[in-house]
């Protein structure tokens, strides 16, 4: 990060902490979650568009983390129906690449500045809820929010949601030609099984219970851009009639005991054959993830030292 990126990232994380609070040692958002070892089997149908290893023909190990939005691992997750799905592809030679997704189709702002301004509005204690919503309603920089709210519905299972990468990436083929795409995970549903009897909101227990009874799988769908589609604006959906490619199937295997807490699911971590687009929010998110991870690491070190000191003094 350059100095300007560092300043903006710190300002953003400060604002996030002010709006939704802090749980020392946890992620600033999506603190509570559950992780799985999984297998991704590419279909090979995207191999003509990219040299990316994980989109060729080799089956590979991946780590998947489903998560809630809150900063606290203790809050009742049903209060916020935005859920995350991050997939860490383990590539040869200790390389990896990441897809970081949520169950809404667009990001809530077009620019990093608009997102920071939104956080500032939400953190102003002098404003009533009505005043905040009035500011959101009148400003064009936040006109995506009604669409996001429309998609927010109670979530019955992590395994039945569709997750979107929000941002555009370029696939690079063997000749250096580029194709703009957006990624999403679509659930492969088994409609013959009964619905879960677990109480609503207990999504970790629900998905573990379901995995004991049936395979849980997702299909990776690539949506190909046309010339008129916005590449750098994550707040706008592309038309549904755009060509899509079924790039492969992800299958969950078993729970990871530590919840993959050491991983940082930075959406700009790509591999040969893929490039990040010019989307400013995409690059902005990387700096914010790094700042958040650094704070989390410092807190964990401090908490460990305090625990060791307390144990030694007994």
Core vs surface per residue 53-78: b (16+ CB within 10 A) or e: bbbbeeebebbbbbbbbbbeeebebe
- Dihedral angle, C-alpha 58, 168, 78, 191, nearest 10 °: -50
Strand intervals (E) in the chain: 33-42, 60-68, 83-90, 96-102, 163-164, 169-172, 178-188, 217-224, 244-255, 274-276
Task: Identify the pLDDT of residue 4.
Answer: 77
Distance CA 229, CA 107 (A): 16
Take residue 62 and report the two structure tokens written for it: 């991946």
Tell me if 257 sits within 8 A of 37, measured CB to CB: no
Report residue 40's pLDDT band, with 50, 70 and 90 as the boundaries.
very high
pLDDT at position 89 is: 98
Three-class DSSP category at 83: strand
Q: How many structural domains is the chain composed of?
A: 1
Q: What are phi and psi of 39, to 5 degrees?
A: -125, 135
pLDDT over 70 for what percent of the chain? Answer: 84
Question: Which residues span the domain enclosing 178?
Answer: 3-312
Q: What is the CATH number of the domain that holds 227?
A: 2.40.180.10
- Angstrom distance (rounded) from CA 173 to CA 179: 8
pLDDT of 124 reads 65
DSSP string computed for 147-189: HHHHH----S-GGG--EE--S-EEEE-TT--EEEEEEEEEEE-
Other CB atoms within 10 A of residue 41 CB = 15
User: Which 3 state secondary structure label does DSSP give 278?
Assistant: coil
Condensed to tens digits (0 to 9), the pLDDT of residues 197-214 reads: 555 558 999 999 999 999
Q: What is the pLDDT of residue 196?
A: 54
Q: Are 220 and 245 in contact (CB under 8 A)?
A: no
């Amino acid at each position: 990060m350059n100095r300007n990126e560092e300043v903006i990232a710190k300002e953003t994380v400060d604002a996030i902490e002010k709006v939704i609070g802090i749980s020392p040692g946890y992620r600033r958002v999506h603190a509570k979650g559950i992780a799985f070892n999984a297998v991704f089997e590419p279909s090979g149908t995207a191999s003509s568009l990219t040299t990316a290893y994980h989109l060729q023909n080799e089956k590979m190990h991946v780590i998947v983390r489903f998560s809630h939005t809150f900063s606290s691992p203790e809050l009742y997750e049903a209060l916020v129906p935005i859920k995350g799905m991050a997939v860490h592809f383990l590539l040869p030679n200790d390389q990896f690449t990441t897809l970081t997704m949520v169950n809404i189709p667009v990001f809530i702002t077009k620019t990093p500045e608009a997102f920071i301004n939104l956080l500032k509005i939400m953190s102003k204690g002098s404003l009533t809820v009505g005043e905040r919503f009035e500011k959101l309603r009148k400003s064009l920089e936040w006109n995506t929010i009604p669409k996001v709210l429309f998609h927010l519905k109670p979530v019955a299972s992590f395994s039945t949601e569709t997750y979107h990468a929000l941002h555009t990436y370029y696939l690079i083929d063997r000749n250096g030609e580029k194709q703009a795409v957006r990624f999403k995970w679509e659930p492969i549903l088994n409609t013959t099984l009964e619905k879960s009897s677990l109480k609503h909101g207990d999504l970790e227990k629900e998905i573990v219970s379901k995995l004991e009874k049936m395979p849980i799988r997702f299909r990776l769908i690539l949506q190909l851009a046309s010339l008129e589609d916005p590449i750098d604006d994550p707040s706008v959906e592309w038309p549904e009639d755009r060509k899509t490619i079924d790039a492969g199937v992800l299958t969950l295997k078993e729970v990871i005991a530590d919840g993959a807490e050491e991983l940082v699911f930075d959406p700009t971590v790509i591999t040969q054959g893929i490039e990040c687009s010019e989307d400013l929010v995409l690059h902005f998110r990387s700096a914010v993830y790094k700042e958040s991870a650094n704070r989390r690491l410092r807190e964990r070190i401090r908490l460990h030292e305090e625990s060791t000191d307390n144990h030694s003094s007994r």
